């Protein structure tokens, strides 16, 4: 039980990758707080976990709202205990098309969720981790982190920013013994990629996604879940500030 009795927050936990991560953390002994905006999806995730006799606390939260994030962490610590790890998986990718044609508000919303959401959640748990002298932060990256990605510029820009933010936090928290990691899940079939497959903009500007899935390049979400557990377990704390991809042989 790599996460025995640890309290872990998973954002974007209502479905897809976040749900898989939450379920895997529980399998490894963690008490999990489930966070996303959609309460009904969180309840579905929680019901499955409870059926398997795990502990799950659904907390509907807009990760871009400071007040809601602070309230969420207070609730988690009040009901489950001090936070040992947070896995910032909540994300947005709806600004599809040439950067100069995408609606600026949609473009900015992708950046806002993917960057501000990560920052607010980290900001809310770090003081307690510093006080206790332990804790781990895991931030989700993706396409655009290491190089340009076409027709989802808001998403790509945000993921590059999350990588640098992870590096900055790792440097700032080094003396406190709090590791910070970035992790990439690979191309997973989720509601986000479904939007790229089914929307008119996605069909026009991102036909490569359909081609990649047809070629079998569909990474199961369980690989990201396994990676999240490995990083949260403490085995790789010496590599704080680094990026990891699902399916890699970490040893």
Is the backbone of residue 151 left (phi > 0), alpha (psi -120 to 50) or beta? left
Is residue 220 packed enough to be buried (19+ CB in 10 Å), middle (13-18) or exposed (0-12)? middle
For 206, phi then psi, to 5°, come to -130, 50
Rounded to an integer, what distance in angstroms lies between the CA atom of residue 85 and that of residue 31? 11
The dihedral through the CA atoms of 195, 115, 118, 35 has a sign that is negative
The dihedral through the CA atoms of 114, 115, 116, 122 has a sign that is positive
**Whether residue 165 lies in the annotated active site:** no
DSSP H or E run through 140: strand 136-140
Number of helical H runs and strand E runs in the chain: 10, 7
Of 155, 165, 205, 236, which one is the catalytic site residue?
A: 155
Length of the chain: 251
Nearest to 181 by CA among 238, 223, 248, 119: 238
For 166, phi then psi, to 5°, come to -60, -45
Residues with a catalytic annotation lie at 155
């Amino acid at each position: 039980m790599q996460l025995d009795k640890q309290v872990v927050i998973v954002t974007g936990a209502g479905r897809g990758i976040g749900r898989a991560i939450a379920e895997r953390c529980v399998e490894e002994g963690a008490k999990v707080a489930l966070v996303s905006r959609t309460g009904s999806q969180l309840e579905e995730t929680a019901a499955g976990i409870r059926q398997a006799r795990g502990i799950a606390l659904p907390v509907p939260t807009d990760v871009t709202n400071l007040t809601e994030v602070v309230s969420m962490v207070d609730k988690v610590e009040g009901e489950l205990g001090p936070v040992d790890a947070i896995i910032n998986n909540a994300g947005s990718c709806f600004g599809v098309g040439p950067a100069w044609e995408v609606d600026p508000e949609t473009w900015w919303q992708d950046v806002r969720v993917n960057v501000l959401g990560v920052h607010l959640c980290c900001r809310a748990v770090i003081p307690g981790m510093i006080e206790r002298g332990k804790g781990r932060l895991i931030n989700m990256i993706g396409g655009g982190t290491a190089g340009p990605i076409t027709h989802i510029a808001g998403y790509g820009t945000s993921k590059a920013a999350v990588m640098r933010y992870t590096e900055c936090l790792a440097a700032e928290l080094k003396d406190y013994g709090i590791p910070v990691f970035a992790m990439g899940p690979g191309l997973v079939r989720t509601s986000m990629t479904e939007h790229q497959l089914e929307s008119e903009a996605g069909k026009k500007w991102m036909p490569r996604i359909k081609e990649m899935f047809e070629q079998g390049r569909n990474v199961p979400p369980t690989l990201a879940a396994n990676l999240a557990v490995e990083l949260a377990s403490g085995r790789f704390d010496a590599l704080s500030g680094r990026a990891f991809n699902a399916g890699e042989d970490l040893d």
